[in-house]
Amino acid sequence: MTPLLDESVQSHYACPDLAKKIRAGIERSGKNVEDLSVRDLGPVDQLHTGGGPATLSLMEKAGLHQGAEILDAGCGIGGSSRLIAEHFKLNVTGIDLAPDFVDTAGTLTRWCGLDRKRNINFRQGSVLDLPCEDLFFDAVLCQHILMNIRDKATALAEFYRVLKPGGKLILHEITDGPGPAPRMPVPWAADTSISFLTPWKEVTEIMEKTGFTPEFFSDETGNSALWWKKVNAFTAKSPPRPLNPGIVFGDNAALFGPNMEINFSSRSVCCIEAILIKP
């Protein structure tokens, strides 16, 4: 990923005053930021396909021990970091390219009181040059970020570098499918300029060359289409919630649901879950 592309990705995810906007949504929903739960933030910080339940289900399969050190690569505003830290009692380091997201992730974590209960920290940085020491993490969670990365070999090599021997790479990713070109915009890109979808077979080949060995795989494309169908049905019959993806992504967010349902149904894109081991 070139510096210019870094800037393009940052621009896509830029959202000044995001914590302030989320606070306004929280207050409109009748919640108090002094008494906030991780679940309360779900409509705005669990924006990946399948939401929080998909993350929890996959992490259950990984079978990590309490107190394990986890890297949440491309953590966004920290939704998954908070969820897995609270649910599994893990120590989580979140890394994201977008400064607005990193700042907001720390603020939301404080509002939930998790900064006092669990070891969670957030840092700005690129997965192509992780600001992390070698052989430190027990697992890397990589959830819906590889679509924004052209140089997947470097990203996967960085994940391999920071993992301990026996560490796990936990993937929940969108890949290129055999169907027609995907409809845009989608959550990771307004257009094709920063969308680097790759077929799963090619991703697998890169991971094997890097040194990873597979432990678990599941094609969740069909379930993903059904999930977005339910999201769209709920959205159509309900007034907009005070907390919603539009706070983060603006007007494009209204098109994400219809486009993603069609993209998964036509297999323009696929959703995979996989766990790999560093020997």
Number of domains in the chain: 1
Q: How far apart are CA 277 and CA 183, in angstroms?
A: 34
Mean pLDDT, range 13-24, rounded to an integer? 93
Read off the pLDDT band of 4 (50, 70, 90).
very low
As a whole number, the mean pLDDT across the chain is 95
Q: At what angle do helices 79-88 and 99-111 cross, to 10 degrees?
A: 40
In whole angstroms, how far apart are CA 248 and each of 43, 161, 187, 240?
Answer: 11, 32, 10, 14
pTM exceeds cut of 0.85: yes
**pLDDT of 5:** 52
Read off the pLDDT band of 104 (50, 70, 90).
very high
pLDDT in tens, 180-195: 999 999 999 999 999 9
Residue 1 has pLDDT above 50, yes or no: no
Mean pLDDT, range 209-215, rounded to an integer? 98
pLDDT in tens, 36-95: 999 999 999 998 999 999 999 999 999 999 999 999 999 999 999 999 999 999 999 999
**pLDDT of 6:** 66
> What residue ranges in the chain does DSSP mark as E strands?
69-73, 91-96, 120-124, 137-143, 163-176, 213-219, 269-277
Q: What is the CATH number of the domain that holds 73?
A: 3.40.50.150
pLDDT in tens, 214-265: 999 999 999 999 999 999 999 999 888 999 999 999 999 999 999 999 999 9
Domain holding 7, by residue range, is 3-277
3-state percent breakdown (helix, strand, coil) of the chain, nearest 5: 50, 20, 30
In whole angstroms, how far apart are CA 266 and each of 220, 254, 260?
Answer: 14, 20, 10
**pLDDT of 2:** 46
